[in-house]
Homo-oligomer: A and B are copies of this chain.
Amino acid sequence: MGDTNQPELPASMPVAPVQDVLQALADPVRLEMVRRLAADDAPVRCSALYDDISKSTASHHFKVLREAGVTERIYVDGVLHQRLRRDELEEALPGVVSSVVSTLQPT
């Protein structure tokens, strides 16, 4: 019917308590994911968010980020993407995302 053929996805979590958000960001792999998400400021294909780890590990990190309310999943042209929930995060923890994301990465 009016079905756009986009698969249904569970509703996004609210942004979790600071503790959990910090924990989510405090992992190098996840921080890099968030950096890449922030760089585009648009939904990004999952596979573009990591290198050198297995799909299952990546999926695990997606889950952690999602359950902390940092990201959400959306379909774009039938392809799963991750989106950084900038506005919600800015409201819950003003300054944190931009600060964390804009810092130079140590070698």
Expressed in whole angstroms, the Cα–Cα distance for A28 and B19 within the complex equals 7
* Size range of the chain A interface in the assembly: 20 to 34
Shortest Cβ distance from A96 into chain B, in angstroms? 5
Q: Is the CB of A100 within 8 A of B26?
A: no
CB nearest neighbor in B for A105: B17
Q: Label chain A's interface by main secondary structure.
A: helix
Of residues 80 through 97 on chain A, the ones whose CB sits less than 8 Å from some CB of chain B are 92-96
Is the CB of A23 closer than 8 A to any CB of chain B? Answer: yes
Expressed in whole angstroms, the Cα–Cα distance for A26 and B31 within the complex equals 13
The interface of chain A, by Cβ under 8 A from chain B, is 17-19, 22-23, 25-26, 28, 31, 92-96, 98-100, 103, 105-106
